[in-house]
Chains A and B, each alone.
Chain A
Amino acid sequence: MDQSSGNALTDPSPEQLIDLIARSQDKTAFTILFDAYAPRVKYFLIRNGASSASADELAQEALLTVWRKAHYFSADRGTASSWIFTIARNLRIDETRRDKRAQLYAMVGEFDDIDPDRPDELVSATEHAKRVRSAMTQLPDDQLEVVKWSFVEGAAHSEIAERLGLPLGTVKSRLRLAMRRMRKSLEDLA
C-alpha cells in the first residue's frame, strides 16, 4: 500500500476493517488500519503542536483507541476518517489540558443517537461523506487553505491571520464562505 500518495483505503474500506475488529478482534484488520491512519494522525498531531515523540505516542494511542472502542463506531453516523479525527482531537486536548471537553463532544454525539429524525439521514452516511469530500474539492484554494489551517493546526483565527499575513476579518469571512458553500452544495444534492 502506498501511503505517501495520499490514497485512502478502499477495499476493504476502513469502516469494514473497524467492523472486523469489533466482531472478531481481527489483528490483520488492525494492522492495515494502523498503517493507513497512524502516520496521518501523527502528521496531524505535529501540525497541531505536538512534539515528534509525543505525536508518535499519541498516534499509537489513537489507533489503540480505535481497537478498544471499535463497538462505539457506527458507520451510519460518519466515516472512519471523521471518527478517527475526533479521537485524535480528543487525545490532543487531553494531553494539553485534561479538561471535560471530550465529555461534551461525546454528549453532543449522543443527542444524534437519540434523535433519529434528522433530515440528512435521507442519504446514507457514506454517500453523505462522498458529497462532503466532493464539496471540499470544489472550494476555492484560498478558502480551502483557511479551512485546513483551522482543522489541522487547530489554530486560533488570529493566529491563522498572522501566519498567512491576512486581516482577521478575511480569515473569518473565508471560513464562513467555505462553510456556507459546502452546506449549500449538500443541500442542492439532498
Chain B
Amino acid sequence: MTIVHHPSEETLVTFVAGSLCEGNSLVVATHLAHCNECRSAIRDMTELAGGILEQGDVTEITEATRNAALDKLDDTPIEARPDPIAMAPADRPLAPLSIYEGGKWQWVGPGVYRQFIDVPNDTGTRVFMLKAAPGTRLPDHRHVGTEWTCILKGAFRHDHGRFGAGDFDEADGRHDHNPFVEEGEACICLVALNGHVEMTGWLGRLIQPFVRL
C-alpha cells in the first residue's frame, strides 16, 4: 500500500516524548502500524531523545535510594524475553486497536455508522471508528479543535487530497469541502476527535441534527 499522508513532524515528536493523550496516541500508533517511513522517523527521534538524556544535566540520587536499588537486585529476577508474537502483516494495521474494547456500531446518518472505542476521554478526546458506504457524499464541514484520522479500509477524498488505507489526516481547525467516499468498498477509519465537527452549507445545516460527530 502506498501511503501519501503522514502525521506532521511535531505530532511524531510529541508521540515519542510521551505527551500525546492516549486517544491521539492510538491513532498515531495505528498509522505507525502501516508506515515504515514514520517508524524509521520515530526511531531517529527516540535516538535524539536518548542523546539529549545522555548529554543532559544530572540531579544527584540520594545515597539511601542508591543503596536500596543495589539491595533489591538479589530479589529482582532478570526476565527471559518471550519470542516476539508472530503476526501476519495483514493483522498489523488493527493491532494497536485490538488493545481496546469497542462498542456497538451505531447509525449516525445516511450510510454512516460509528463505533466508540473505549479509551478514557478525560482529556476530552473521543475515539471512534467511522464506517461510510461507498459513494457517500458528506456535507462540507469545519473541524473545531483537533481531529486526527487514520484510514483502515477504503478511501475518501476531499479538497485536501485522497486518503486511502494507512493515510493519516490531521484536520486541525480546517475546513473540508466536498468530501466523499470513493466507489467500490466502504471506508472505515479510526478517528480521535477533540472538539467537534460543524456541518456547513445548506445541506450540512439540514442534516446536522441527524449527523452528530
**A-side interface residues toward B, CB under 8 Å?**
3-4, 6, 8, 21-22, 25, 27, 30-31, 34-35, 38-44, 46, 52, 55-57, 59-60, 63-64, 67-72, 77-86, 88-90, 92-93, 97, 99-101, 103-105, 107-108, 110-115, 118-120, 128-129, 132-133, 136, 147-148, 150-152, 154-157, 172, 175-176, 179-180, 182-183, 186
Contacts and interface: CB of A to CB of B under 8 A. Distances in A.
Given A64-B72, A83-B50, 14 more contacts: A6-B55, A6-B57, A42-B59, A72-B81, A78-B46, A81-B53, A82-B50, A85-B46, A100-B99, A104-B25, A105-B29, A150-B13, A152-B53, A175-B10
B52 to A, nearest CB: 5
B203 interface: no
B45 A79 contact: no
A38 to B, nearest CB: 5
A132 B48 CA distance: 6
A67 B78 contact: yes
Given A56-B61, A60-B68, A104-B99, A154 B17 contact: yes
Contact of A78 (B41, B47, B77, B81): B47
Chain B interface extent, by class: 35 or more
Nearest to B60: A39
B18 A34 contact: no
B90 to A, nearest CB: 13
Contacts of A112: 39, 43
Given A100-B22, A108-B29, A86 B46 contact: yes
A114 B43 contact: no
Nearest to A97: B22
